[in-house]
Amino acid sequence: MSRHYLMCAPVHFDVTEKSNPWMRPDHVVDRERALSQWHTLVEVYERLGHRVSLLDPVPGLPDMVFTANGAVVVGGRAFVARFRSATRQPESAAHQRWLESTRYDVAMSEGIGEGEGDFLFTGRHVLAGTGFRTDHATHLEAQEFLGYPVISLRLADECFYHLDTALLPLDADTIAYYPGAFSAGSRRLLERLYPDALLATAEDAGHFGLNAISDGHHVVVPSDSTRFADHLRDRGYEPIPVDLSEFRASGGGPKCCTLELRPAAE
């Protein structure tokens, strides 16, 4: 089924602070290379039959390319992020304006919550991360607004600061995740909910293999996540490798660059 994604060109992309362990403020961003890699990602989505809409980049907001963090959109309702980092807080207004202009039912998070970085829709419920970026109380806000059960998961390793670095919904029934990223209780919960999950290794997660996009068959993964791609093939999925190495200096991959827009019909 065709998907609809919101993306933002990295014309102002830079690494200006260290708000997660992967960020390298000493890295000199090759913006031309970043733009080329981003355009390739857009072309991959369009080749797979998906629709891409564009959010206008705003000068002075170097992380706007990571649109996934700006909201979570389910059933035509958009729960807009409230960022923990002061640098990123103005991104919320840009997302809110775009979503309202395209007639989504929009609510701004009252608590700290970072969009699809920590809220992943599976088709039946929302898996929600807490521990580093998103406050647990915001999970309740999201449940009330979106109208889907929200299942809280505690992240326990700061290298996996957002849920979308540690867990990937593959289809309505299957996820992949890295157990080492979660608290003991959250691991037990995931084992009960998804006994047939694809368990990623530390190497898979370290290559940002889980920061990927699945349409239920094709899985767009970082090009250096070769072992994880093999695991996906073994499960019947088709991995599509993309090189987003320029964004790794900020802790980002395909998922970070992609916000899925789910219409009211779903």
Looking at the domain assignment, is residue 67 inside a domain?
yes
Looking at the domain assignment, is residue 164 inside a domain?
yes
Phi, psi (5° rounding) for residue 31? -65, -35
227, 189, 191, 220: which is closest to 206 by C-alpha? 227
Looking at the domain assignment, is residue 265 inside a domain?
no
Q: Give the total number of structural domains in the chain.
A: 1
pLDDT for 266 equals 46
Walk along the chain (266 residues) in steps of 10 and give the mean pLDDT of each run.
Answer: 96 79 72 96 98 97 96 98 95 98 97 98 97 97 98 96 97 97 98 98 95 98 97 98 90 94 82
Catalytic annotation, pick one of 139, 162, 207, 218: 162
pLDDT for 248 equals 86
Looking at the domain assignment, is residue 213 inside a domain?
yes
pLDDT for 249 equals 79
108, 111, 202: which is closest to 157 by C-alpha? 202
How far, in Å, CA of 74 to CA of 172, rounded? 14
Bridge partners, residue 214, by sequence: 219
pTM of the model: 0.95
Q: Annotated catalytic, 256?
A: yes
pLDDT for 242 equals 98
pLDDT for 28 equals 75
Looking at the domain assignment, is residue 176 inside a domain?
yes
pLDDT for 23 equals 59
DSSP string, 76-88: TEEEE-B-SSTTT
Looking at the domain assignment, is residue 266 inside a domain?
no
Q: Annotated catalytic, 159?
A: no
Catalytic annotation, pick one of 8, 207, 218, 256: 256
How far, in Å, CA of 159 to CA of 65, rounded? 20
**Domain around 23:** 4-260
| CATH number assigned to the domain comprising residue 244 | 3.75.10.10
In 129-169, alpha helices (H): 136-146
How far, in Å, CA of 127 to CA of 209, rounded? 18
